[in-house]
Amino acid sequence: MHDHAALAAAVASGAPVLPLYIFEPDLWALAEHSRRQFDFLMESLTELDEALTERGARLIVRKGNALDILADLHRRHGIAAIHMYEETGLPWSRARDRAVRRWALQAGISLREQPQPGILRSTGDSKSNASWAGHVEQPRLKAPETIRAATLAAGPWPIAEDFGLGADDCTGRQKGGRTAGVELLRGFLAGRGRRYRQDAEHPAAAEKTASRLSPHLAFGTISVREAWQAAHRARAAYMQDGDTTFAASLTGFLERLEWRARSIQSLEDHPLPQTGSGEDIRPVPAMDDPRLATWIEGRTGFPLIDACIRSLRETGWLNFRMRAMLVGFATHHLWMDWRRPAERLAALFTDFEPGIHYPQVLAQSAIRGQKAPVVYNPVRLSLQLDPDGTFIRRWIPELAALPDSYLHAPWEAPKAELARAGVILGQTYPMRMVDHVAAAKEARERIARLTRTSRPATAQPPHRPAPMQADLPFRGMQARRLRKPKHGPAQLSFDLGTPPPAPHLRQI
């Protein structure tokens, strides 16, 4: 509703508008999609429907193949134009959009696709470079006051079970809908995000101090531009107040919003490698490969890895470094091809966004985007990022009584220490599934050998897009000074309702 270019264009056309959401069974059948994402979506659509109702319209909901539904609507009602956003998605959604484009052309329907913020449709020459500042510094689009709606039956709304999406154990899932997104953004800027920069790497602390906006940005309940403008304004206010800690945190946040666009652009420009394209360096595990199950069920015997998976299962969220570590463990230590781990992780993320997820998986598994493979040591990371074991003890209570010195690598604990803590390795908690030091060494050597020797003669050389900034540890990053926008975020207000009093913040 807010800052929505496609809706604004449809309303401006003066024709009756039909706000349409199509539930596509083929989409929900993809391995990356899951019940937690569906539930977040339903909450968001419910609120969207209320917002449309206030403006004289309704959300028209249909279930089925997008092309069939559009063709049927056109037959019955005559569609003059389709307004939509360009989507940088999975191969499936690219194929769907191509089919819709072809059909619209044949049917004489004008298809008006709006670019995503700061992202250019790929021209195939891999040099797309949309102007980020040109987008985020422009005034946001206001929500329409009224919508002249086409009259049409609104429902019925499907339920998760219609798509075979069974119950989920995500009891700590973030709530969908714009209200929840606005509350998160406001709370982050008004205080919660002060230690964002310092805490970013630490799994327990980051849960509270990161923006947690990712599912809202992925589903569009908050626009990237409104998040950027609000953070930019807050940052200026904190700088004026002399709170350089908060201002530096918001600099980091603003940079991450830009990385988002760059990452999506990289998938736009370099679609996912096909199996057998020459970018495969590891065997694809079978669906019933016990290593895959052990990893994704959090039974690896490495406390930090298992704590991350358990936390992810229950909350649908994890910070950047822990996501990177999980992918690295699956693809380096366990030497599995990136595809299945990527799908299994995506399904656990409420915020699954193909344009961030896949470029990151490819980078973390040394397929694309990194100069040299980074193979994380899960024990060293555990000691660095959860030194007092807060995160591990929360998610693996069966290890809680182990002293800090053995908590990160219980296999090193003397028998008496394990017995005192009530831990029986292999029974109350798994033995580690692999010698991580030896496995990491072997992975590095294999990758080095593979990059030295040529890939199969039939294979295309792999794309090597520029290394992504996101590969750099947050702490070590040089804080780039954000330049003052030329026009300034023109709308000083924030379409977020009445903000709570925040004495030290002049205006957000």
Ligand X SMILES: Cc1cc2nc3c(=O)[nH]c(=O)nc-3n(C[C@H](O)[C@H](O)[C@H](O)COP(=O)(O)OP(=O)(O)OC[C@H]3O[C@@H](n4cnc5c(N)ncnc54)[C@H](O)[C@@H]3O)c2cc1C
Binding interface with ligand X (CB under 6 A): 210-214, 217-218, 253, 256-257, 259-260, 263, 319-320, 323-324, 327, 349, 351-353, 356-357, 360-361, 364, 470
Q: Which is nearer to ligand X, 61 or 356 (CB)?
A: 356
Q: Which is nearer to ligand X, 376 or 406 (CB)?
A: 376
Minimum Å distance from CB 315 to ligand X?
Answer: 11
**How many residues in the chain?**
508
Minimum Å distance from CB 378 to ligand X?
Answer: 15
Name which of 355, 352, 360, 350 is nearest 328 in CA terms.
360
Q: Which is nearer to ligand X, 100 or 470 (CB)?
A: 470
DSSP state of 399: G
Minimum Å distance from CB 265 to ligand X?
Answer: 10
Q: Which is nearer to ligand X, 331 or 382 (CB)?
A: 331
Minimum Å distance from CB 201 to ligand X?
Answer: 11
Q: Is the dihedral of CA 383, 385, 391, 392 positive or negative?
A: negative
Q: Tell me the DSSP string of 135-159.
A: HHTSPPPPPPS---BPP----PPP-
CA–CA separation, 159 vs 379, rounded Å? Answer: 42
**Residue 425, SS3 per DSSP:** strand
Q: Which is nearer to ligand X, 88 or 263 (CB)?
A: 263
CA–CA separation, 438 vs 432, rounded Å? Answer: 13
Minimum Å distance from CB 225 to ligand X?
Answer: 13
CA–CA separation, 332 vs 75, rounded Å? Answer: 53
Minimum Å distance from CB 313 to ligand X?
Answer: 16
Q: Which is nearer to ligand X, 58 or 216 (CB)?
A: 216
CA–CA separation, 104 vs 113, rounded Å? Answer: 12
CA–CA separation, 5 vs 117, rounded Å? Answer: 10
| Tokens, residue 117 | 């913020």
The answer to whether the beta carbons of residues 150 and 132 sit under 8 Å apart is: no
Name which of 287, 269, 377 is nearest 341 in CA terms.
287
CA–CA separation, 84 vs 101, rounded Å? Answer: 11
Element (H, E) at 61: strand 60-63
Asked if residue 271 has a cis previous peptide bond (ω within 30° of 0), the answer is no
Minimum Å distance from CB 261 to ligand X?
Answer: 8
Name which of 58, 231, 78, 85 is nearest 149 in CA terms.
58
Q: Which is nearer to ligand X, 5 or 345 (CB)?
A: 345
Element (H, E) at 110: strand 110-114
Count CB neighbours of 278 within 10 A: 16
Name which of 172, 180, 173 is nearest 222 in CA terms.
180
Q: Which is nearer to ligand X, 311 or 319 (CB)?
A: 319
Minimum Å distance from CB 206 to ligand X?
Answer: 7
Minimum Å distance from CB 364 to ligand X?
Answer: 5
Q: Which is nearer to ligand X, 352 or 395 (CB)?
A: 352
| Tokens, residue 291 | 């290593």
Q: Which is nearer to ligand X, 223 or 382 (CB)?
A: 223
Minimum Å distance from CB 260 to ligand X?
Answer: 4
